Structure 1
Amino acid sequence: MTRSLFSRWAWGAVLALSAGAVWAEAPSPGPQRVEALKHMVRQDCGSCHGMRLTGGLGPALTSEALAHKPPEYLQAVILNGIPGTPMPPWSAMLSPQEAQWIAEQLFQGFPEEHRSAH
Structure 2
Amino acid sequence: MGAGPAAMAGEAPIDDERKAHLRHLVKQDCGSCHGLTMRGGLGPPITPEALAQRDRETMVYTVLYGRPGTPMPPWSSILTEQEARWIVDLLYEGDL
Structure 2 CA distance for aligned equivalents of residues 73 and 90 of structure 1: 14
Structure 1 CA distance for aligned equivalents of residues 54 and 18 of structure 2: 26
Pair 1:25 & 2:8 matched: no
Q: Of the candidates 28, 38, 53, which is equivalent to residue 38 of structure 2? A: 53
Pairwise CA distance, 1:31:
0.4
**2:10 alignment counterpart:** none
Pair 1:105 & 2:90 matched: yes
CA contact (8 A) 1:62 1:110 kept: no
Which protein is richer in helix relative to its size? Answer: 1
Higher Cα radius of gyration: 1
Q: Of the candidates 55, 80, 86, which is equivalent to residue 95 of structure 1? A: 80
**1:70 alignment counterpart:** 55
Structure 2 CA distance for aligned equivalents of residues 85 and 59 of structure 1: 11
CA contact (8 A) 1:54 1:62 kept: yes
Structure 2 CA distance for aligned equivalents of residues 32 and 46 of structure 1: 20
TM-score under structure 2 length normalisation: 0.88
TM-score under structure 1 length normalisation: 0.72
Structure 2 CA distance for aligned equivalents of residues 29 and 73 of structure 1: 21
**1:83 alignment counterpart:** 68
Structure 1 CA distance for aligned equivalents of residues 14 and 52 of structure 2: 24
The residue type equivalent to 1:43 in the other structure is Q
SS of residue matched to 1:101? helix
The residue type equivalent to 2:71 in the other structure is P
- In the TM superposition, structure 1's runs of 4+ consecutive aligned residues that sit over 3 Å from their partners are none
Residue-pair matches, total: 88
Question: Considering only aligned residues, what root-mean-square deviation do their CA atoms show, in Å?
Answer: 1.0
Per-residue deviation, residues 41-66 of structure 1 (Å, max 9, x unmatched) = 00000000001111000000100000
Instruction: Point out where structure 1 has 5 or more consecutive residues left out of the alignment.
Output: 1-23, 112-118
